[in-house]
Amino acid sequence: MWNFYFVVIMYVTSLGLSHRTQTGKFICKRCGETVAQAEDLVSIPSKLALQRWNKTILGKPHITTQKFENPQGAQFEVVTFSEASVTSNEDAHTEATWFPGYSWRISACSRCNFFLGWKYQPVNFNHMTFTENDKFYGLIMDHIIQDIDSDSLVIIQHPNAR
């Protein structure tokens, strides 16, 4: 019924193959599906972040990374993107938003449905007042892998999967 996959990262350095090229993408940690591009990284700071810092991600300097906590106490390290190839839930929520003025929708990998983060749109989003450019995505750093690691990525189906 459920297909479980293990993602195994192998570094090939002993053979002198450690040189890697970055294609500037982020992939789902569970299945390896491309979910975002480095050129779509944007810094959208929130005054509700527990912590905020800048870091270089896939060669892009000064990308705002933020730590948030949900009402249940779970904490997430989040980076924001202007675009992402994810599936977003239809139900928009305004309560407990980390970005005031924006509603959020749960977003998951379009291939394996693994929870990746949230899609944010202005609270009163409609196509008369806003455009698709007014939305952004907050993806959880622990749920995505930077492409620098994916050249040696092997996906193995769990032995008990059907």
Q: Taking the domains of the chain in order of start, what are their residue ranges?
A: 36-145
pTM score, whole prediction: 0.78
**Are residues 161 and 71 in contact, defined by beta-carbon separation less than 8 angstroms?**
no
What sign has the CA pseudo-torsion 118, 136, 35, 74? negative
CA distance 84 to 138: 9
CA distance 35 to 87: 10
Find tokens 């810092």 and name the residue. 53
Question: For the chain (length 162 residues), average pLDDT per consecutive 10?
Answer: 47 35 81 95 96 92 96 98 95 93 95 97 71 87 82 57 54
Give the chain's count of helices (H) and strands (E): 0, 13
Architecture of domain 36-145: Beta Complex (2.170)
